[in-house]
Amino acid sequence: MRSPSQYLLLLLLGLLLCGPLMAEQPRSIRVTIDGVEGPLRETLRNDLSLSHLENDRYPAQTDFLFRRSERELTDALRAHGYYEAAIDSQLQRSDHEALAQYQIRLGEPVMIAAVNIHISGDGAQERAWRQYRQFDLPLRVGQRLRHADYERTISDLQNIAINHGYLDARYTQRRFEVSPEKGEASVHIELDTGEPYLFGEISFDEHTQIEQKFLHRFVEFAPGERFTNAQLAELQQTLISSRYFSLVRYEPRFTEQEERRIPVHVQLEDNLPHRYRVGLGVGSDTGARLLFGFENRLLNKDGHRYEFDGIFGQRAQSALFNYSIPGRRPARQKWNLRTGWEASQSASLERSRTTIMPEYSHLTRNDWLLAPYISLERENFTYRDQEQQTTQLLLSGIGIQKRVLNQSAYPSKGYRHNIALRISQRGLISDSEFTQLELASKGIISPVDSWRLIARGKVATTFSDDLEALPASYRYLLGGETLRGYAYESIGLLNDANELTGAKHMALASLETDYRFTRWFGLAAFTDVGQVFDQDYHSELKVGSGIGLRGFTPVGVVRLDAAWAISEDDAPLRIHFSLGLDL
């Protein structure tokens, strides 16, 4: 049995434990802002110190912040161009809440009446200033004055100067004048670029597996040329794209500059010399397939490399080997020796081809990729219900490509142009004589975020007097992914025996739109139009249309399409599946 003193001790302990729970909770704080809507209201709320106070535990602190709040709101409103705004505020307390109320009358905003930007110094004639004024300048006459736009302009102009080598650029004037009674503002900015800095010596890490002489061939600028960050970034990207290195960093050594020449050191970490690739794939045209490959990125210190790629699939197989030798300017030039075998099988055509092809690849300064080549080819092919044919070619040609896009995996703006010219002369090696020209373009625009329009077109023509002598690889069939709604390679010509063969000419166009609902998924709708023909165009256009699902991944777009051949009677629904880049 407990003594009275023990009961008293327990009672005191209970009071001590329960006391904080029974104490009165501090009043909460609620802030309301009326008279403004949307993002501006949220901006004003975030600029109020009072709105970040958790509770009214210390009323003196709350009162102090409330008295300061009108000045904070006034400054925030002026930063958004509202210099004549009126604010009514009151703070009311109840037992459980402190309510701060603000009623705002915005008035008319201040509009920009004039923007005067003057660039002086050696860099005054740089093209970048004109481009910035035309496309990127946030301060525009007739728009509402926003202080953030002014600060961004000041920062942008300074960055342009620095990026073009004018590291000593300074402002001789930077101000804006506001006339609230007129509702107008004028901006005055004067920037003196000074003299440009130049590139000094370019050095690389000594420990790399590649010869220093070869590394210097990647540099597209020379000591004494004007220093620009863009050229350094391009060098970094070029070295990364070469796949010789796992890490590339450049370090302009500003403190070591002499006579305005800045030396640059490039830090490199060698990549693993060997790379293996194994994967699975599936496509509605070619079926399931196993992909495998091997690459030796660095065969010797001069940068030679080779790679092998193979596909073993239901309706497509290939084994391709390529030996690559960097050119005098390895960032833009290289020699390739390709050899390989490839085969495909469809309901209309079975073919296999072996190829030996030396090629020279050159990327021009305006990013046109030129690839002239000579190809020795032997092909066996069989159209449905026809005898097997064998052809041999010595082909000369050139491929030309221009590709511009804002990103690879999900481009919202960009285009790709392709030109292919092939010529074969009948002689000791070639069985056929023909000239073939292909023109193809594809473009993407995005009117609003997450919504894209995709258009593509392709035309091809072949100059040859003998269709039968043309290898199947250089005749045209449509269907499958090339013209959705139709079976793979099902659109061709019918000969006198009513047998399907490929054609000498082809025209194809497509219009597609897709909308990205989430980071990973979207919907699409499309229409494909095309036809193949021989001498005279006389056939009706084949039209396929449908809808599809899109899966957006870092390596490209997964496409699952349901399409109908709407130009045919009682055409069945066809499913098409593919994975690849849009451009």
Beta strands in 3-64 (DSSP E): 28-34
Maximum CA pair distance of the chain? 123
What integer pLDDT is reported at residue 15 of this predicted model? 43
Q: What is the pLDDT of residues 147-181, one digit of tens each?
A: 999 999 999 999 999 999 999 999 999 998 999 88
DSSP per-residue string spanning 422-475? EEE--SSS-S--EEEEEEEEEEEEEEETTEEEEEEEEEEEEE-S-GGGS-GGGS
Task: Compute the chain's Rg from CA coordinates.
Answer: 35
Beta strands in 297-387 (DSSP E): 305-313, 316-326, 333-345, 349-363, 368-383
What integer pLDDT is reported at residue 537 of this predicted model? 66
Q: How confident is the model at residue 19 (pLDDT cuts 50, 70, 90)?
A: very low
What integer pLDDT is reported at residue 387 of this predicted model? 87
| Residue 498 identity (one-letter amino acid) | N
Question: How far, in Å, are 75, 139, 514 from residue 406 at the CA level?
Answer: 38, 25, 17
The answer to whether residue 548 scores a pLDDT higher than 90 is: yes
What integer pLDDT is reported at residue 540 of this predicted model? 85
For residue 214, give both structure tokens. 């070869």
Which residues are 558's β-sheet partners? Answer: 551, 579
The answer to whether residue 6 scores a pLDDT higher than 60 is: no
Average pLDDT over residues 233-254: 92
Q: What is the pLDDT of residues 66-96, one digit of tens each?
A: 999 999 999 999 999 999 999 999 999 998 9
The answer to whether residue 467 scores a pLDDT higher than 80 is: no
What integer pLDDT is reported at residue 34 of this predicted model? 94
How far, in Å, CA of 327 to CA of 297, rounded?
16
How far, in Å, CA of 532 to CA of 538, rounded?
10
Question: How far, in Å, are 375, 438, 464, 493, 546 from residue 468 at the CA level?
Answer: 20, 20, 10, 12, 35
| Locus of tokens 């373009």 | 441
For residue 450, give both structure tokens. 């997450």
What integer pLDDT is reported at residue 95 of this predicted model? 86
What integer pLDDT is reported at residue 464 of this predicted model? 87
What integer pLDDT is reported at residue 497 of this predicted model? 75
Average pLDDT over residues 299-325: 93
Strand (E) or helix (H) holding 156: helix 147-163
Coil, helix or strand for 312? strand
How far, in Å, CA of 117 to CA of 173, rounded?
10
Give the chain's count of helices (H) and strands (E). Answer: 7, 27
What integer pLDDT is reported at residue 395 of this predicted model? 93
Q: How confident is the model at residue 24 (pLDDT cuts 50, 70, 90)?
A: low
| Antiparallel, parallel or unpaired: β 521-533 and 414-424 | unpaired
pLDDT averaged over the chain? 90
Residue 24 gets which letter from DSSP? P
The answer to whether 538 and 555 have CB atoms below 8 angstroms apart is: no
Q: What is the pLDDT of residues 510-547, one digit of tens each?
A: 999 999 999 899 999 999 999 999 876 667 899 999 99
The answer to whether residue 418 scores a pLDDT higher than 90 is: yes
Q: What is the pLDDT of residues 487-515, one digit of tens each?
A: 999 998 887 778 888 899 999 999 999 99
Which residues are 192's β-sheet partners? Answer: 120, 170
- Report phi then psi at 290, rounded to 5: -105, 130
| Antiparallel, parallel or unpaired: β 261-270 and 245-252 | antiparallel
Which residues are 423's β-sheet partners? Answer: 396, 435
The answer to whether residue 251 scores a pLDDT higher than 50 is: yes
Range 185-199 burial, b when 16+ CB lie within 10 A, else e = bbbebebbbbebbbb
Q: Any idea what the Cα angle at residue 152 is, between residues 151 and 157, rounded to 5°?
A: 105
The answer to whether 148 and 79 have CB atoms below 8 angstroms apart is: yes
How far, in Å, CA of 130 to CA of 223, rounded?
27
| Locus of tokens 């030679």 | 304
The answer to whether residue 22 scores a pLDDT higher than 60 is: no
How far, in Å, CA of 20 to CA of 16, rounded?
8
What integer pLDDT is reported at residue 573 of this predicted model? 93
How far, in Å, CA of 82 to CA of 75, rounded?
9
Percent of the chain with pLDDT over 70: 95
How far, in Å, CA of 485 to CA of 492, rounded?
15
For residue 582, give both structure tokens. 């849009």
The answer to whether residue 281 scores a pLDDT higher than 70 is: yes
The answer to whether 407 and 372 have CB atoms below 8 angstroms apart is: no
| Antiparallel, parallel or unpaired: β 316-326 and 305-313 | antiparallel
Q: What is the pLDDT of residues 42-52, one digit of tens each?
A: 999 999 999 99
Coil, helix or strand for 570? coil
What's the per-residue H, E or C state across 524-540? EEEEEEEEEECCCCCCC
Residue 495 gets which letter from DSSP? -
How far, in Å, CA of 307 to CA of 130, rounded?
46
The answer to whether residue 322 scores a pLDDT higher than 50 is: yes
Q: Is 498 exposed, middle or buried (0-12, 13-18, 19+ CB in 10 A)?
A: exposed
Average pLDDT over residues 114-129: 93
| Residue 534 identity (one-letter amino acid) | D
Q: Is 535 exposed, middle or buried (0-12, 13-18, 19+ CB in 10 A)?
A: exposed
| Locus of tokens 């690879």 | 408
**Of 325, 167, 134, nearest in space to 257 by CA:** 167
The answer to whether 543 and 549 have CB atoms below 8 angstroms apart is: no
